[in-house]
């Protein structure tokens, strides 16, 4: 059968180090290094280790022209069955088309190859990032410094030596008060439901369309409270609602034009467990009454920015803008908010029924009432949010 290479592929010579007591006892430095060639494909979840013949075949086979049977020299022909089984080489009419279909759909999506590989292979499943950091002592500045030394300075040093030109300070306006009160919330009130009105206001302000404009061609463009690369607003909001008045706990998609919740099937795991898993064990966030996964639809963006080196970056920036709008909206309503990119993307995709080729989360935000006591540290050096006894009113 005719074969060709998958479309989106990078090869990495990866060195891995591990501590080996036996090496130390034998007089070595206790560090064993292994060097492996890994094939990272945009349609596969995990890297595939490849040997010299397999690398050679991947380098020689075209991703577009089919190779006729019998044209390869014996050593390369011998590499074909395993690469086909792994999905790196694809048959024209395979018995199981799952991997070929994934490759074909990825071709249509017009990713820039390094971005496709970075996103696909940067996703986590079942990672307990919080637990790992805690066990490694990396949740405190002291722990970080004892492991990595002091951080680089807090402000970049210019090298010109030119005198600084001081600027006037801004009078304390409402917007400044809002900015100083914006503080990442790591202490949510688990007993106090979020009222329906504030919940709706949050979604409308952060994710809702202020206008939708028909371009006259059948295409529609949305106007929102945050800017978006190419004006495409590719990023959707998938909600895990835990404690909101008049909203059944569960999973939802938010419709930005209708300003409505679209209920999704009940996930297999209880919501508490799913929240903790989605947030990679960050229990200080998992209690939030509302979690929102920021999920770009890649096809919407790459329709315009085809194979574009900046397209994925624009999606990441879009998520950052949405997050800041969410923080400020929450602060203005007297709520706490957070964002995190330390998430288990694959578990989130599975819970919401997302196909990672089409839609995959970049971050998770959350909001709700703050707790009465601070159990997990927040960064509130001026006491704008917390008094000694609890959160400040207003």
Ligand X SMILES: Cc1cc2nc3c(=O)[nH]c(=O)nc-3n(C[C@H](O)[C@H](O)[C@H](O)COP(=O)(O)O)c2cc1C
Q: Which is nearer to ligand X, 117 or 385 (CB)?
A: 385
Helix/strand/coil for 36? strand
The least CB distance from residue 25 to ligand X, in Å, is 39
Among residues 128, 342, 384, 386, the one that binds ligand X under rule CB under 6 A = 342
Q: Which is nearer to ligand X, 31 or 377 (CB)?
A: 377
Q: Which is nearer to ligand X, 228 or 282 (CB)?
A: 282
**Footprint on residues 367-386 left by ligand X (CB under 6 A):** 379
Six token digits for residue 94:
């395979």
Cα 11 to Cα 56: distance, rounded to the nearest angstrom = 11
Note whether 133 and 139 are within 8 A (CB).
Answer: yes
- Binding residues for ligand X, how many (CB under 6 A)? 9
Query: Which one of 7-15, 140-148, 180-188, 190-198 is the stretch in contact with ligand X (CB under 6 A)?
Result: 180-188
The least CB distance from residue 129 to ligand X, in Å, is 7
Q: Which is nearer to ligand X, 203 or 339 (CB)?
A: 339
Measured from the Cβ of residue 58, the count of other Cβ atoms closer than 10 Å reads 23
Cα 297 to Cα 54: distance, rounded to the nearest angstrom = 34
In a 10 Å sphere around its CB, with 0-12 CB exposed, 13-18 middle and 19+ buried, how is residue 162 labelled? exposed
Six token digits for residue 298:
């890649």
Among residues 340, 351, 352, 391, the one that binds ligand X under rule CB under 6 A = 340
Radius of gyration of the chain (CA): 25
The least CB distance from residue 379 to ligand X, in Å, is 4
The least CB distance from residue 185 to ligand X, in Å, is 8
Rule CB under 6 A: say whether 341 interacts with ligand X: yes
- Comparing CA positions, the residue from 224, 218, 245, 247 lying closest to residue 236 is 224
Among residues 184, 190, 201, 350, the one that binds ligand X under rule CB under 6 A = 184
Query: Which one of 158-166, 287-295, 328-336, 340-348 is the stretch in contact with ligand X (CB under 6 A)?
Result: 340-348
Rule CB under 6 A: say whether 226 interacts with ligand X: no
The least CB distance from residue 177 to ligand X, in Å, is 15
Query: Which one of 193-201, 231-239, 262-270, 338-346 is the stretch in contact with ligand X (CB under 6 A)?
Result: 338-346
Rule CB under 6 A: say whether 339 interacts with ligand X: yes
The least CB distance from residue 282 to ligand X, in Å, is 6
Query: Which one of 74-82, 183-191, 212-220, 264-272 is the stretch in contact with ligand X (CB under 6 A)?
Result: 183-191
Note whether 13 and 90 are within 8 A (CB).
Answer: no
Cα 205 to Cα 198: distance, rounded to the nearest angstrom = 10
Report the C-alpha dihedral over residues 102, 103, 104, 109, rounded to 10 degrees: 90
In order of 204, 209, 341, the CA distances from 257 in angstroms are 9, 5, 27
**Footprint on residues 272-291 left by ligand X (CB under 6 A):** 282
Q: Which is nearer to ligand X, 5 or 181 (CB)?
A: 181
- Comparing CA positions, the residue from 43, 121, 21 lying closest to residue 87 is 43
Cα 283 to Cα 31: distance, rounded to the nearest angstrom = 34
Angle between helices 196-207 and 311-332 (to 10 degrees): 150
Q: Which residues bind ligand X (CB under 6 A)?
A: 183-184, 186, 282, 339-342, 379
């Amino acid at each position: 059968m005719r074969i060709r290479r998958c479309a989106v592929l990078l090869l990495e010579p990866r060195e891995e180090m591990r501590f080996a007591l036996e090496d130390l006892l034998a007089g070595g430095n206790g560090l064993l290094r292994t060097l492996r060639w890994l094939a990272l494909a945009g349609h596969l979840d995990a890297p595939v280790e490849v040997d010299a013949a397999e690398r050679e075949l991947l380098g020689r086979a075209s991703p577009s022209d089919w190779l006729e049977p019998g044209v390869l020299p014996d050593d390369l022909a011998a590499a074909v069955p395993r690469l086909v089984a792994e999905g790196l080489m694809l048959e024209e009419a395979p018995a199981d088309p799952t991997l070929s279909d994934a490759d074909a759909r990825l071709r249509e999506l017009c990713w820039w190859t390094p971005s496709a590989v970075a996103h696909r292979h940067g996703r986590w499943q079942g990672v307990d990032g919080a637990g790992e950091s805690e066990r490694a002592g990396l949740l405190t500045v002291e722990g970080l410094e004892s492991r990595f030394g002091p951080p680089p300075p807090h402000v970049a040093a210019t090298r010109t030596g030119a005198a600084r030109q001081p600027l006037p300070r801004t009078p304390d306006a409402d917007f400044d008060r809002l900015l100083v009160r914006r503080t990442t919330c790591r202490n949510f009130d688990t007993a106090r439901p979020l009222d329906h009105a504030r919940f709706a206001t949050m979604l409308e302000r952060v994710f809702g369309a202020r206008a939708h404009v028909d371009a006259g061609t059948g295409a529609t463009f949305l106007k929102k409270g945050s800017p978006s690369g190419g004006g495409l607003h590719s990023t959707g909001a998938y909600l895990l609602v835990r404690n909101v008045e008049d909203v059944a706990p569960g999973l939802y998609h938010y419709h930005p034009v209708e300003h409505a919740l679209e209920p999704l099937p009940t996930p297999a795991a209880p919501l508490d467990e799913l929240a903790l898993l989605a947030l990679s064990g960050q229990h200080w966030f998992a209690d939030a009454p509302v979690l929102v996964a920021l999920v770009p639809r890649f096809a919407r963006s790459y329709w315009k920015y085809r194979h574009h080196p900046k397209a994925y970056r624009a999606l990441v920036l879009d998520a950052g803008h949405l997050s800041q709008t969410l923080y400020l909206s929450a602060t203005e309503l007297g709520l706490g908010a957070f964002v995190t990119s330390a998430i288990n993307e694959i578990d989130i995709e599975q819970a919401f029924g997302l196909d990672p080729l089409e839609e995959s989360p970049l971050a998770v935000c959350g909001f709700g009432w703050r707790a009465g006591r601070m159990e997990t540290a927040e960064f509130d050096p001026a006491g704008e949010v917390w008094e000694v006894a609890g959160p400040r009113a207003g």
